[in-house]
Structure 1
Amino acid sequence: MAEVESFTLDHTAVKAPYVRLIAVEHGPQGGVISNFDVRLVQPNHDSIETGGLHTIEHLLAGLLRTRLDGVIDCSPFGCRTGFHLITWGEPSVEDVAAAVKASLAEIAEDVTWEDVPGTTAFSCGNYKDHSLHSAKEWSAQILGEGISVDAFERKVI
């Protein structure tokens, strides 16, 4: 079986919340994609319940695209501690962290239920499992801790 970088990361040594560049991949035709670990809560100490994480996911899908060029996907970790963010090109960790910070601030302070995309049976595979209240609470808590640009040493932007 192939080795997966995420499973070699020492989850007991990281200090969330942070943004970490996992890898930059160069495709055979010259395309470049970057994979980021956007860790919102401390692994093995906390996790965001599915309703809140699901709503954060739907909101980040649009909010990050307005703040960061080349977003391909932002998908939650199964452990519910954060997201993989896949982008075209090589944005800096600082630029990604700033986009995440601004997006979480918008969720915490400005977003209403009407702003949440994909909340119907037509547009979501589990549309009943959303919580804007939880998304707002978690976003505010994460912002209060600060987003670091280093996974092992707190370097808050």
Structure 2
Amino acid sequence: MAEVESFQLDHTKVLAPYVRLIGAETGPKGDIITNFDVRLVQPNEQEIPTGGLHTIEHLMASLIRDRIDGLIDFSPFGCRTGFHMIMWGDHDSETIAKVIKSSLEAIATEIEWSDVPGTTIESCGNYRDHSLWTAKEWCNLILERGISSDAFVRKVV
């Protein structure tokens, strides 16, 4: 089987919350795609409940696009500790960490239920599994710890 980078990462050595550049790839036409590990909680110590994680996912899909161009995808890890963030172009962890921080701040302080996209049976594959209250609580906890631009050394943005 092919090796997957995230399965080679020693999850006992990282210090969440952080943004980590997993890698950048150049396509056959010269396009660059960057992949980030956006880890919001400490692996194997915490996990965000699915309703809150689902709501964070839906909100971040819009909030990130409001703050930076080139987002391809923002998908949750199955372990519920964070997200993969895939971007067009060459981006650095510090820039992405600032975007994540700003987006989490918006969820924590500005967002109301009517702002959450994709919460109907027509627009979501599991529309009943959302919790803005849980999303806000976790965003506040994450922001209290600070978002680092380094996975191994706390460099809070």
Same fold at TM > 0.5: yes
TM-score range, shorter chain: over 0.9
Listed as ranges, the matches of 1:18-57 within 5 Å are: 18-57=18-57
String of CA shifts for 1:79-126, please: whole Å, max 9, x gaps: 000000000001121110000000000000000000000000000000
String of CA shifts for 1:100-154, please: whole Å, max 9, x gaps: 0000000000000000000000000000000000000000100000000110111
SS of match in other structure, 1:114? helix
CA–CA separation in structure 2 for the residues paired with 1:100 and 1:68: 10
SS of match in other structure, 1:155? coil
Listed as ranges, the matches of 1:86-125 within 5 Å are: 86-125=86-125
CA–CA separation in structure 2 for the residues paired with 1:28 and 1:98: 30
| Count of aligned residue pairs for this structure pair | 157
String of CA shifts for 1:19-41, please: whole Å, max 9, x gaps: 00001011111111000000000
In the alignment, structure 2 segments of 5+ residues that lack a partner are: none
CA–CA separation in structure 1 for the residues paired with 2:145 and 2:86: 24
In the alignment, structure 1 segments of 5+ residues that lack a partner are: none
TM-score, normalised to structure 2's length?
Answer: 0.99
CA–CA separation in structure 1 for the residues paired with 2:92 and 2:35: 11
SS of match in other structure, 1:87? strand
Shift of 1:74: 0.2
Which ranges of 4 or more aligned residues in structure 1 deviate by more than 3 Å? none
CA–CA separation in structure 2 for the residues paired with 1:121 and 1:49: 21
The residue identity in structure 2 corresponding to 1:33 is: I
Q: Percent identity?
A: 66
SS of match in other structure, 2:135? helix
String of CA shifts for 1:53-98, please: whole Å, max 9, x gaps: 0000000000000111100000000000000000000112111000
Listed as ranges, the matches of 1:51-66 within 5 Å are: 51-66=51-66
The residue identity in structure 1 corresponding to 2:151 is: A
CA–CA separation in structure 2 for the residues paired with 1:96 and 1:12: 23
SS of match in other structure, 1:103? helix
Q: CA RMSD in A?
A: 0.4
